[in-house]
A and B are shown apart, each in its own frame.
Chain A
Amino acid sequence: MNLLNSCGASAGAKIKRTGYDTTALLSQTLLSAQQGNSPDVLIVDNPVVSTLADAGVLASNDQDSIDASAVAPNLLAAGVLNGKTYGIPIGANTLALYYNKTILSAAGVDPSTIKSWADLTAALAKVKAAGKGGITLSAIGTEEGSFQFLPWFWGSGANLTNLASTQGVAALQLWTSWMKAGYVPNAAIQDTQTTSWAEFATGKYAFAENGTWQLANAEKAGFAYGIIPIPSMAGGVAPAPTGGEFVTIPLQKDTSRYPTTEKIVSCLTSADNAFNTDTTLGYIGVTAAVQQKQATNPQLPVWISAVAAAKGRTSDNLGTNYPKISQQLWTAVQNALTGAKSPTAAMSTAQSAAAAATGGK
């Protein structure tokens, strides 16, 4: 990233950038912190922030001078632990439904009428009857799988503190019935969001549950597409989880490093630079200022309102319990979609495992 270098230069430092994928990044960060050799600036996926903060790896915003006051509270939530905020989001994304206009009009479906699960299932049935694929999504046994399932889980009115509630089971039942009816490709069980997007991009599927970051690829897909928010069970827009990265400052023994680090961070997150970064990475801005700039792009308003309605995964005061619950959630999804367990059984197993893991803490 050139921006990193120019921010480094303006702060009088030379930046050495090291990139890792999310799970590797977490273990690398923990290991390097253990050896007392943390990086000066750490840019990480938002659900990891509370874990790192809990591990005592990160400096809170009281300790350094990061100003996150302009950030929308629902986007900042992932960085809050025990009343303290750690770092600042650089951009946000979330999930919605992309649709293939050609397929929907051939099947006689008007996307604007899809307001509830029942509407969507009916649309999928019509598409299937017209000989096309239904919806691509990612139900992989990783955090990505939970990320994709959450809009349906929350959209049923369920809460992560009780996976086995009637609503939670209903959400899983929805996905399972789609899989059984052949609306969802079987490969969804192992697809990442990237792979499930590639399936949608073949032009054979009517819908794709995917994120803001696919916007650029949608333009290249070679067919007309549209975007609708993910519907909730009873009707209306379901809350989707927020994705995106936080810029954070790891704790250092040598405190004289902070001033330079702070300059770099404020440079990275300044309105102009954040706008450029967000545009490049397919993010929605986290401050009103950046969002206003982005709103001039006709494709973005739908995403800006989606991000405004989105919900942090670690919110509801879950914090570091979220990862434990999420693991059980994606396991339940896998169990139900493969037919290993019924949705009810899968969710109640998940709930007792999650309760045991979070252990009344």
Chain B
Amino acid sequence: MSDTTGIQAHPSQRDGGGAAAAVPPPSARDRSRKPAASQLAAWAFLAPVTIYLLLFYAYPLYRSLDLSLRNYTVRSFVHGHAPFSGLKNYRIDIRDPTFTPALLHTLIFTLVSIAFQFVIGLGLAMFFVQHFKLSATLRALFLVPWLLPLIVSASTWSWMLNSDSGVVNSALHRFGFAPVNWLTAPKWALVSVIIANIWIGIPFNLVLMYSGLQAISPDIYEAAALDGANGWQRFWRVTFPLLRPVTAVTLLLGLVYTLKVFDIIWIMTRGGPAGASTTFATWSYQLSFGNLLPAFGPGAAVANMLIVMTLIFGFVYFRIQRKQLES
């Protein structure tokens, strides 16, 4: 294992070890290199997933890269022989007036969604970990939004947020507020899809953070209480540092899943009105499938830029992780 890849690879393992804070693997990190026979066995166990990755991930990715580097028309898409056009599709996208807003929306959508999902999820996890009457039942109920097929939650939300017959505007009206054009006003559309996305993501954060909290031994709290720490201090000095590994997993997964969110936005606003909620994911789909004349090349280029963007996020994340572990 080379050093560079090793650094990126470790977090998942470290997180795992750390998530089980109460039972840390005794010497997980400094086990010595195994002999060759072990290498063979190790790869035998990895073989199915490796073949699977090549077949079902590498090939679609290769196709997407190929599409983005050629000048495809519908004709050459069908009959082949699309001329190689280098980065032309990428240049077309970057010059497109949609580019900057889409980039901005993608970042806002992802960061705001994750921030709220995480904070609310953590807050709820801390609330539910206190074991009161019905707490287990209520916690189970909290998972329901996450069970609904996205197409269902998105349709329900868009119905609730309907300008003219939605329940949200009706409630606003009852409390004396003016109705809001949630899905049809450019300044609200992105807010609306973010709200729906936060709602869908809360259970995921709740489950993971709850498990993290459960793993913290009550003894630690008792010790902190003896030291005279109050609730807030306990959280910042004891709970939060111990939660760091599971936080890392939760945020990383959240990031990965949120960046490519497509269904919710597409069903609720189709990226509109007037592009006000277009992200890279919906823009890519719009280009490839949403028009009468598909622009496969530029569409694939947008998708690839999205992947690169996720990679950048990933690297930033790994950097922060590493710094934290070193300090």
Contacts and interface: CB of A to CB of B under 8 A. Distances in A.
Interface of A: 23-24, 26-27, 30, 33-34, 47-48, 51-52, 54-57, 140-143, 185-190, 199, 320, 322-324, 326-327, 331, 334-335, 337-341, 349, 353
Shortest 8 CB-CB contacts between residues of A and residues of B: A323-B292, A323-B293, A55-B74, A189-B184, A334-B274, A186-B163, A141-B272, A335-B274
Given A141-B272, A190-B158, A199-B164, 12 more contacts: A34-B78, A52-B74, A55-B75, A56-B78, A186-B184, A189-B184, A189-B272, A190-B273, A327-B293, A334-B272, A340-B273, A340-B274
Given A33-B78, A186-B184, A27 B162 contact: no
B105 interface: no
A54 B97 CA distance: 28
B290 interface: yes
Contacts of A324: 293
Contacts of A338: 184-186, 273-274, 276
A338 B291 CA distance: 21
A52 B292 CA distance: 10
A51 B296 CA distance: 14
B258 interface: no
Given A142-B270, A190-B184, A338-B186, A30 B289 contact: no
B288 interface: yes
Interface string B63-106: 00000000001110111100000000000000001000000000
Contact of B291 (A199, A323, A337): A323
A334 B77 CA distance: 30
A141 B268 CA distance: 12
A186 B169 CA distance: 13
A189 B164 contact: no
Contacts of B186: 338-340
Interface in B139-194: 158, 162-164, 181, 183-186
A22 to B, nearest CB: 8
B247 interface: no
B75 A56 contact: yes
B89 to A, nearest CB: 14
28 contacts: A26-B294, A27-B289, A30-B74, A30-B78, A34-B78, A51-B293, A55-B74, A55-B75, A55-B77, A55-B78, A56-B75, A56-B79, A141-B271, A142-B290, A143-B292, A190-B269, A190-B272, A320-B74, A323-B293, A327-B291, A327-B292, A331-B274, A334-B272, A338-B184, A338-B186, A340-B274, A340-B276, A353-B97
Contact of A27 (B158, B185, B275, B288): B288
A76 B4 CA distance: 64
B75 A54 contact: yes
Contacts of A30: 74, 77-78, 294
Interface of B is mostly: loop
Contact of B292 (A51, A190, A349): A51
A206 to B, nearest CB: 15
Nearest to B163: A186
Contacts of B275: 331, 334
A320 B74 CA distance: 10
A51 B294 CA distance: 10
Nearest to B270: A141
B273 A54 contact: no
Nearest to B98: A331
Contacts of A322: 292
A198 to B, nearest CB: 10
Contacts of A320: 74, 293
B290 A334 contact: no
Contacts of A326: 292
Contacts of B290: 23, 142
A185 B289 contact: no
Nearest to A333: B274
Interface in B266-285: 269-276
Contacts of B77: 30, 34, 55
Given A55-B78, A323-B293, A337 B164 contact: no
B294 A27 contact: yes
Looking at B73, B181, B272, B293, the one whose CB has the most chain A CB atoms below 10 A away is B293
A57 B77 CA distance: 11
A273 to B, nearest CB: 28
Contacts of B164: 185-187, 199
Nearest to A23: B289
A140 B293 CA distance: 17
A358 to B, nearest CB: 11
A187 B75 contact: no
A61 B185 CA distance: 47
A323 B295 CA distance: 11
Looking at A27, A56, A190, the one whose CB has the most chain B CB atoms below 10 A away is A190
Nearest to A320: B293
A48 B74 CA distance: 12
Contacts of B273: 141, 189-190, 334, 337-338, 340
A353 B97 CA distance: 10
Nearest to B183: A190
A322 B80 CA distance: 24
B101 to A, nearest CB: 11
A241 to B, nearest CB: 13
Looking at A323, A324, A338, A349, the one whose CB has the most chain B CB atoms below 10 A away is A338
Given A140-B270, A334-B273, A340-B276, A187 B162 contact: yes
A239 to B, nearest CB: 20
A333 to B, nearest CB: 9
Contact of A54 (B74, B271, B276): B74
Contacts of B97: 349, 353
A341 B270 CA distance: 19
A108 B78 CA distance: 58
A238 B158 CA distance: 34
Contacts of B78: 30, 33-34, 55-57
Contacts of B183: 187, 189-190
A56 B77 CA distance: 10
Contacts of B270: 140-142, 190
A294 B100 CA distance: 53
